[in-house]
Structure formats: structure tokens, C-alpha cells
Amino acid sequence: MRRTPATLPPGSTLGIVGGGQLGRMISQAASRLGFDVVILEPEPDSPAGRVSARQITAAYDDPDALGELGRLCPVVTFEFENVPAASLERLAAAGARVAPGPRALAVAQDRMEEKTFLNGAGAPTVDFVAVDDLSDLQHGLERLGLPAVLKTRREGYDGKGQAWIRSADDIAPAFEAMAGRPAVLEAAAPFVRELSVIAARSDDGRTAVYPLGENVHSGGVLAVTTAPALASDAVQRRARAIAEAVLEGLDYVGVVGIELFDLSADDGEAVLLVNEIAPRVHNTGHWTQDGCVCDQFEQHVRAVMGWPLGPTEAHARVEMTNLLGDAVEQWRDLAAKDDVRLHLYGKAEARPGRKMAHVNRVLGPI
């Protein structure tokens, strides 16, 4: 089996599992640094595949495709966390270095595992209870109280796979919405706002943390991120400490997105709870494309390919807005604005709620 060098030179090949917008932007960043990219994606003519050297069109668990990707690419990363764990094992068996590694993926794929890990690492979450049947749910509600949110343990994102329970009338419908899947019941967090932190770690243990972003959701989907967020020094230090604890605890390599509930009071005490972690580049980090010298996508490529991490200081304050569905048809008007940079994902069909693009509006220099 070949041994992958710690640092990959320009001209090397990076593999990406997943052909959506995150894979596309990782590929574009890798190309700027002189790397070739191979995409593994079941949908032909994918957004990422069209900007990469090659696409292998096959299922994420196809053994032949995984073997080919592992042989072609000394390093393989992924753009979403629902990659089968067995696929990473096959890639490693084919000789590739997979980053982030299997531990990070396993933790992020299961909400119970995730919250257990986070609390053990000193990154607290809301109280939670495992739910396998209706009796578990009823006992969990007695312990946590109302309101509470029931979520599937695995999969689910952008508001999918979850149901709020605000009264006794919501219990049966919420349980039925899980469709028999193992779930976790979470206590409601009385947060003031939602923040997020984007951070990176290299194979030698060095870390780089971006300024905080403040997020606004609509219908369970991120609508707007404004960064750097206006936050006290205490909140910023606490967020950095949480990010570094997560990275170290997972022996992480690459960029991670960490969503935070800010419960801080006016007395200066910083109280942050982790909502969830994403072992990949993250929607709330898109602002870095126009607010930082080294954006989150380049940072991820640097980390997984063994390069020095780039600077994370912001040179501008940015408001990032997602364009969902047919909102992308505003592209002509948005492209005409002097303070906006448009990032289109190259998706063919603008379905309702589908992320089609984002715009970064520069609010001014730091």
C-alpha cells in the first residue's frame, strides 16, 4: 500500500465524495492551489463534477468506484456527513488518506453520539434523552418539560427529521413523524441568538478559528449569516475554546462548522451551548469568501492536503443570504449591485427550498 506524504504538492489529486455546491466550491478552491479534483457522485453532470478534472458517476457505496477513487486520489474528503462509514473504510483500504477521519463522521452522523461526545469534551449542549419508543418519549418529556424538540438520531438537516412538542396534543404526531426511526428528545434552549464558528485543524494539531457569525433561520433553513458577529471578548474566547476542544477531541483534520446557542446575559458571562457540529465546510462560513483572505474552502483544502493553515482574520463585515428555489432568478439584478458578490451553484432545477446560490453583501471594512 502506498504511503501518502504529509504534504501534497501542487499537481496532486484530491478526491471529493459528493457533487453538490459544497463540493463545487471545495473543488474551485483546490484548483486555485494547483490541485486536480475527482468527484464521486451518483448524479451525472453534477455541480461539482462540471468544475473538476473528472467525475466518477456511481453510488457512494459502490465498491468499484470507491476503489478507483482511492487509487486515483492520495487524499479524499467529503462534502456532506451522510457518507456510509463503510465507504471511508474502503477508501482507506485503497490507499487514500481520508480527512476528516471516520471518528468525526461517526460522531456527527448520530445525534446521541454527538451530544455525548460534546459534553464529554467540555462543549455543553441542551439536556437530551434517547427515544426508541413512545414510553421513552413520555418519560423524556416528564424530565425535560415542554417545549421540546424530537429529532431523528441519524440524517435530517435544514429542519427535516424533527418535530416540536409544545403541548400534549403534539406528542403522538411528533412520534409518528419519526416513522419508527431512533430519535433524541432535546430540551428547548432559551437562547438570545444563534451563532456559529468555523474552525480548522491540520494534521500536526495546529488550529485556525474564524470570527463568529450570527445566523437567522426561516422555516428551519439558514436565511442570513452576518459576520463578524458583534460579540463580547468573553463570548469570542468561549467560542474559540469550544471549537478547539471539538477539533482536539476528534483528532480532526479539515474545516468544521459548529452551531451555537448564545444564552449570554448582559452581566458579561459567556454562556454558549452547542447545537450541532458539521464535519465539513458549512453554509454559515460562506461569508469568508468575501470577508477573509483565506476562505473556508481554501482552508479545508490546505488542511487535508497538509499545507500550512491560512489566516482567518476578517478584512470586511459581510452579510450572506441564501437564495432558495426560484429566488435565484434575481441573479441579473443582484449581479448589477456594486456591494454584492453572487455565488451560483450551477444546479439545473430550482425546486422550492433548494439552495441554488448565495450572495455576500459587503457591509464595510473592519
- pLDDT at res. 93: 85
- Alpha carbon distance 366, 290 (integer Å): 12
Counting residues of the chain whose pLDDT is more than 70, the rounded percentage is 98
> pLDDT higher for 154 or 17?
17
Cβ count near 20 (within 10 Å): 20
| Cell numbers 457569525: residue | 213
Q: Selecting from 3.40.50.300, 3.40.50.261, 3.30.420.10, 3.40.50.20, what CATH number does the domain 13-98 have?
A: 3.40.50.20
pLDDT digits (tens, 9 = 90+) for 64-91: 999 999 999 999 999 999 898 889 988 9
CA–CA dist 300, 54 (Å, integer): 20
Superfamily for domain range 127-187 = ATP-grasp fold, A domain (3.30.1490.20)
How high is the pLDDT of residue 238? 97
What's the pLDDT at 143?
A: 97
Mean pLDDT, residues 118-127? 97
pLDDT at 1 over 60: no
Cβ neighbours of residue 298 closer than 8 Å, sequence gap 6 or more: 29, 32, 33, 310
pTM, rounded to two decimals: 0.95
Q: Read off the pLDDT of each residue in 212-229 and give the average, rounded to a whole number.
A: 96
What's the CATH class of domain 193-365?
Answer: alpha beta
Cβ partners under 8 Å of residue 181, min gap 6: 152, 153, 154, 161
Count Cα neighbours of 328 within 13 Å in the Cβ-side half-sphere.
19
Confidence of residue 156 (pLDDT cuts 50, 70, 90): low
Q: Which long-range contacts (CB under 8 A, 24 or more apart) does 307-313 make?
A: 307/7, 307/8, 307/33, 308/202, 309/200, 309/202, 309/206, 309/207, 309/208, 310/208, 311/208, 312/208, 312/209, 312/210, 312/211, 313/211, 313/366
Q: What is the pLDDT of residues 192-207, one digit of tens each?
A: 999 999 999 999 999 9
Supply the pLDDT for residue 2. Answer: 65
Of the pLDDT bands very low, low, confident and very high (cuts 50, 70, 90), residue 232 is very high
Residue 160, pLDDT above cutoff 80: no
Q: What is the pLDDT of residue 89?
A: 86
Boundaries of every domain in the chain:
13-98, 127-187, 193-365
Mean pLDDT computed over 220-244: 96
- Residue 6 pLDDT exceeds 80: yes
Give the pLDDT score at 302. Answer: 98
